[in-house]
Amino acid sequence: MPQADQPTPSPPAAPPLEAARALRRAMLGDAYVDANAAPAGTVAADFQDYITTVAWGAWARGGALSPRDRSLLVLAMTAATGRMEEFRLHASVRERTGVTDEELDELLFQIAGYCGAPAGLAARRALKDVRDVQDGREAPGV
């Protein structure tokens, strides 16, 4: 038991993987995470844990960037690298991070200006697809 003049020890922090998993679930939602879970005990599950630790661990570490800032950065980086599936995923859950539709529209100009017209156009098409699905309009390719 700590003495009165000694600080009380803090409870142990969640292990990095558990913190990353919790944040991934909070940002992407239970339905997405559950639908994309790899079977336990497989190489796929090990790989998913690795990616979760690395990518979502960057979100879970705290620091000076807010979830909104991190979301905008992920959206810009996935668009810049042509990873439209990831761009769509993060655009579809933007409300959970505090990114507004107006900010996402403005981000398209930044993407086009710094990454080129093809990246900006691809991101714009991907964002339109996300909004169409969310508004109940027909999904692309249907």
Instruction: Note the pLDDT tens digit of each residue in 83-94.
Output: 999 999 999 999
Q: What is the mean pLDDT of the chain?
A: 91
Q: 116 — alpha (psi -120 to 50), left (phi > 0) or beta?
A: left
Global pTM value: 0.83
Lowest-confidence pick of 11-20, 37-46, 68-77: 11-20
pLDDT at 137: 85
Which of 24, 27, 82, 80 is CA-nearest to residue 54? 24
Residue with tokens 């969640």: 14
Average of pLDDT values for 116-137?
A: 96
